[in-house]
Amino acid sequence: MVNNKMYELGTKKSTIRTIFEFGRKRAAEVGEENVYDFSLGNPNVPTPDFIKEAAVDILTNMEPSAIHGYTVAPGNPQVRKALADSINSRFGMHITEKNLFMTAGAAASITICFKALSQPEDEYITFAPFFPEYRAFVESVGGKLVVVPAQPEDWQIDFAAFERLVNNHTKAVIVNSPNNPSGAVYSEETIKKLAQILQAKEKEYHHPIFIIADEPYREIAFEGYTVPYIPKYYDNTLVCYSYSKSFSLPGERIGYIVVPDTVANFEKVYGAIAGAARVLTHVNAPSLWQLVVGRCANMPSDISTYVKNGQLLYQGLVDAGFECVKPQGAFYLFPKCLEEDDYAFCKRAQKYDLLLVPGTDFGCPGYFRAAYCIKTETIKKSLPLFKKLAAEYK
């Protein structure tokens, strides 16, 4: 009677959701302040004042139909121009409004790209650990998600494993840096090597292999870590950007796709992106929020809370005996569990009301994700509990 796949996607709760809901239940029982919920990637830094001021000014002073009316499908041309200018000045690019397509955030951007590119038997490569929604998005367009095993020493790329998995069916490689869940930033060396391998594979298979750069965390990179702008290194790159994390606007749904001129068959790819957005009933990205981000194109993100929280949690975990790669960006740590079974470990952590997400969900068993976009005070109070948890394994 209904599409079973859709039913399954709509009713089967993700582990993250289940843990989050368990947390809400525990908060009702023992008090909000006694639950240490590291499960969700919902930014806790308040949305900046300049966003509110821009929204209020637009709502007060602009014509309602110009604020709330349909925009052209790719998005308001002046907004796209403002964003293109900002990208050019930050990354030394030479794009214009015709290279941008406004979307309802990164999830929309990447799904539109998958839909736009997909042909029968296409494969999309991702690197473990990875954002679990990739599987749902890729499979929704009939694609196959291929996972490159993780390189846990530094969460960069295991290139030998990667090269074995690229084949004639590879349509695109998904790159997410700063990474959810590992908190790693891919180095320039990693990006250069990835580009070099893909250029060789494109020659070998006589067709483009795209990089889909999923970049909602681009602005959240810590001191000493630079996030290379991938189109500078690899021609066939589509950049999927979002303001969900950088300006703490996840509920408003606003972002964009960059399709640089260097992309093979630019007109076809951009046209297919417009077509994919159309059948996904995207119509246009939220028009008020297009105007707001257009005005705030050059405004900075405040990442100081994430810097502080990341350092605090990292040091606390290392002191308690956990193995963990230092925070480099985003707002996640991905430490090793103290037993092989990550589900059993996270279950045991729940005894202390520490809510952690098993790494298996991100294609990386034996690890757990801790999202530290929460109150600094909560992290401080959680550290003795991590110590107690670790003591159980000594």
142: left (phi over 0), alpha (psi -120 to 50) or beta: left
Considering beta carbons, is residue 107 or 389 the nearer one to ligand PLP? Answer: 107
Minimum distance, C-beta of residue 110 to ligand PLP, in the bound complex (Å): 6
Neighbouring CB atoms inside 10 A of 204's CB total: 12
Minimum distance, C-beta of residue 351 to ligand PLP, in the bound complex (Å): 28
Q: At what angle do helices 287-295 and 77-91 cross, to 10 degrees?
A: 40
Piece in contact with ligand PLP (CB under 6 A), picked from 56-64, 67-75, 104-112, 266-274? 104-112
Minimum distance, C-beta of residue 14 to ligand PLP, in the bound complex (Å): 12
CA distance 103 to 229: 20
For residue 329, list its beta bridge partners. Answer: 221
Minimum distance, C-beta of residue 241 to ligand PLP, in the bound complex (Å): 8
Among 156, 182, 244, 328, binds ligand PLP (CB under 6 A): 244
Minimum distance, C-beta of residue 231 to ligand PLP, in the bound complex (Å): 18
CA distance 365 to 369: 11
Which amino acid type is present at position 328? Q
Q: How far is CA 169 from CA 13, 110, 211, 272, in A?
A: 31, 19, 14, 19
Among 75, 105, 152, 260, binds ligand PLP (CB under 6 A): 105
180 binds ligand PLP (CB under 6 A): yes
Considering beta carbons, is residue 179 or 236 the nearer one to ligand PLP? Answer: 179
Among 106, 112, 296, 356, binds ligand PLP (CB under 6 A): 106
Structure tokens at 325: 């790669």
Minimum distance, C-beta of residue 139 to ligand PLP, in the bound complex (Å): 16
Structure tokens at 203: 């020659």
Piece in contact with ligand PLP (CB under 6 A), picked from 105-113, 166-174, 203-211, 310-318? 105-113
255 binds ligand PLP (CB under 6 A): yes
Considering beta carbons, is residue 107 or 157 the nearer one to ligand PLP? Answer: 107
- Cα-Cα end-to-end distance for the chain: 54
- Interface mask toward ligand PLP for 203-222; x: CB under 6 A: -----------x-x------
Considering beta carbons, is residue 171 or 218 the nearer one to ligand PLP? Answer: 218
176 binds ligand PLP (CB under 6 A): yes
353: left (phi over 0), alpha (psi -120 to 50) or beta: left
Piece in contact with ligand PLP (CB under 6 A), picked from 61-69, 155-163, 242-250, 296-304? 242-250
In a 3-state reduction of DSSP, which class is residue 39? coil
φ/ψ of residue 302, rounded to 5: -90, 105
CA distance 198 to 200: 5
Considering beta carbons, is residue 107 or 357 the nearer one to ligand PLP? Answer: 107
Structure tokens at 272: 């297919």
246 binds ligand PLP (CB under 6 A): no
CA distance 389 to 371: 18
48 binds ligand PLP (CB under 6 A): no
120 cis-preceded (ω within 30 degrees of 0): no
CA atoms within 13 A on the CB side of 388: 12
Piece in contact with ligand PLP (CB under 6 A), picked from 53-61, 102-110, 117-125, 318-326? 102-110
H/E element, 332:
strand 332-333
Neighbouring CB atoms inside 10 A of 75's CB total: 23
107 binds ligand PLP (CB under 6 A): yes
Which amino acid type is present at position 173? V
242 binds ligand PLP (CB under 6 A): yes
Q: How far is CA 159 from CA 5, 125, 150, 189, 215, in A?
A: 33, 12, 10, 12, 21
41 binds ligand PLP (CB under 6 A): yes
How many chain residues are in contact with ligand PLP, going by CB under 6 A? 13
Among 127, 131, 367, 386, binds ligand PLP (CB under 6 A): 131
Minimum distance, C-beta of residue 114 to ligand PLP, in the bound complex (Å): 12
Among 75, 183, 250, 260, binds ligand PLP (CB under 6 A): 250
Binding site for ligand PLP (CB under 6 A): 41, 105-107, 131, 176, 180, 214, 216, 242, 244, 250, 255
